[in-house]
Amino acid sequence: MFRKILIANRGEIACRVARTAHALGYRTVAVFSDADRDALHVRAADEAVPIGGTTPAESYLAREAILAAARRSGADAVHPGYGFLSENADFAEACGEAGLVFIGPPPEAIRLMGNKGAAKRRMARAGVPCVPGYEGEAQDDATLWREAGRIGFPVMIKAAAGGGGRGMRLVETEAALADALASARSEAASAFGSDELILERAIARPRHIEIQIFADRNGNAIHLGERDCSLQRRHQKVIEEAPSPAVTPELRARMGAAAVAAAQAIGYVGAGTIEFLLAADNTFYFMEMNTRLQVEHPVTEFVTGQDLVAWQIDVAAGGRLPLTQEAVALDGHAIEARLYAEDPYQGFLPQSGRVALWEPPAGPGIRVDHGLRAGQEVTPFYDPMLAKVIAHGRTREEARRRLVRALDACVVAPLATNRAFLADCLRHPAFVAGEATTGFIPDHFPAAALHRPPPPREAAALAAALLCRAAAGSPPLLRDWRSNGPAGVPLLLASEDGRIPVEVAAEPGGCYRVALPHGDTCVVALLATEGDRVRYEADGVQAEARMLPDGGALYLQIGGFDARYVDLKLAPPEGADAGSDGRVTAALNGTVRAVFVQQGVRVRRGQRLLMLEAMKMEMEIAAPVAGCVARVAVSAGAQVGRRDLLVELEPDGAGAEGDAT
């Protein structure tokens, strides 16, 4: 038995574990890095212990610091959440040696299933269908090259020791194999401390189906149905649902039986997930096992009516599973969307900065798991997921509609997020029809065609009215503005998508007549403002928007759309494209991982200059123009901030391509 649980994690999962632990009567202890000193999960626990550092390696991956925090606080159990140390067998073992109950599976099970090669070999012996491939110990290029030829192209390369898409490469042809092996090895070694690889036959456009299993120490093991996690970007899950629209009761029974057999074959205890690829002909193949609670567990909780964290804690305390397999019933449908601090319309660049406004949606069938509060700083040191928005409905369509509405109503500003992108995915006819496979995003939202959705026409009109109202009586801003005059004043609104010329005229009754581009006109009345809420009327229709002045700009969330307008007096003049002057700056806060050029070298447009890493994502910075490197302002390992100078080029003539040396 235990009384006090240390939560060895951060953010939304730490808050979520604390919530259930408190409901069960346990006291909780949070740990926090220097970057998370004011984070919500620190306040959500009964006690909190600093573990120092800012990067994961210095804090949430520092085993000794976390064990010391448990000793200092008197905790007698540890819940690892997901990520970080949750699938670290050495940490689970160290907890046991320190007299702490590890709320998770036995270290032996974690160690076995943590290596994809060993896991596949064990699953094959247990009769679980596996993707044909190679998971042998020989790791030399010649062996991997030979095995890839035997498997046939396209082939998938995977890091044997990890997951989350890191160290994973899809290789379409033999000619691309050498580079893919080298880059996969490098990323695997960096991410997981092991460069061991496995090869698998690439299954064309499969569904990613995972089965939630649970086992106790008394030999009982069951499954709680499936989750469809097919909607992914770069092998990272984006939207998940339960049950899967592609899985029949008969198929669910077969996949569930295989998953339970997999768990029993390794003496598993606690919560786990068996991941399968489901082909178009309903053939399924074991892919891997996650020996922890999954990010997407709330959809299973919604459709089963169970609290999986409570199950974890009870099983760790020696209790039996509360249900038999026959008693598991699925009710309705649930869909989860992961809200990330990233800009989908700028290559999904991770974002960092202060969240001035945060208001999670609410309503029937809506749940939001998060670790955010207004005023909190989102740092570049950790995964950019901010929250999970989950909707439950009697039917899949009801759950889908509720989730779209919840995303439209979710307020997070001024940080750029994928909120609108998620809603667009949920609205797409292929998703509505339940036809999403792992190719959904590249098929329907290719990077080259991904453009920021334009806000409604009244957004620019409302922004102009708000800015003019704020500027009334301020000659430096609008010298010709007359708040009671009929004359229109030509203004220039600068937005993220360009410059919008408008003409604003004040009308009786406090209205503003705003002439928009292309001969359009919108009459806006500002009815009421309360804090960040503005009630307005546009062409006779009343609605509400959220607004936030943001460093000389105005942020609006209106009709489910985000819009940011530069303050009128700060609207930049028409000019050249960004970077055409040869100054290459950082688009976000991060760490310089590698520099590929030096002063005096000539580069072509598009040539890589350096590699930045932020929020677990690596991105190459390319030359915006051809020219000669005049200055390299950073070196590998340097921390840089948004807009910091990285490289300065002396551009060639407009449009020249230059020659790389």
- Residues with a catalytic annotation lie at 292
What whole-number distance in Å separates Cα of residue 12 and Cα of residue 432?
28
The number of residues making up the chain comes to 661
Angle at 611 between CA 605 and CA 616, to 5 degrees: 135
Joined together, the tokens standing for residue 422 give 């998620």
Joined together, the tokens standing for residue 83 give 């990520």
- Rounded to 5 degrees, φ, ψ at 152 are 95, 145
Neighbours of 446 (CB within 10 A): 9
Sheet of strand 617-622: strand arrangement: 617-622, 608-614, 590-595, 639-640
What whole-number distance in Å separates Cα of residue 311 and Cα of residue 24?
11
What whole-number distance in Å separates Cα of residue 67 and Cα of residue 8?
9
What sign for the dihedral angle of Cα 539, 542, 543, 547? Answer: positive
594: Cβ contacts below 8 Å, ≥ 6 apart: 610, 611, 636
Task: Classify residue 434 by its DSSP letter.
Answer: T
- Rounded to 5 degrees, φ, ψ at 556 are -125, 140
Q: What is the SS3 assignment for 415?
A: coil
Letter string b/e over residues 160-192, b meaning 16 or more CB atoms within 10 A of that residue's CB: bbbbbbbbbbebeeeeebeebbeebbebbeebb
What whole-number distance in Å separates Cα of residue 414 and Cα of residue 428?
26
Residue in the block written with tokens 């007359």 = 482
Neighbours of 487 (CB within 10 A): 11
Residue 594 is which amino acid?
A: A
CB 366 within 8 A of CB 391: yes
In DSSP terms, 562 is beta-bridged to: 557
In DSSP terms, 350 is beta-bridged to: 342
CB 414 within 8 A of CB 562: no
What whole-number distance in Å separates Cα of residue 262 and Cα of residue 210?
13
CB 111 within 8 A of CB 266: no
CA distances from 166 to 157, 187, 613 (A): 10, 7, 14
- Rounded to 5 degrees, φ, ψ at 461 are -65, -45
Residue among 539, 534, 509, 546 nearest 524 (CA): 539
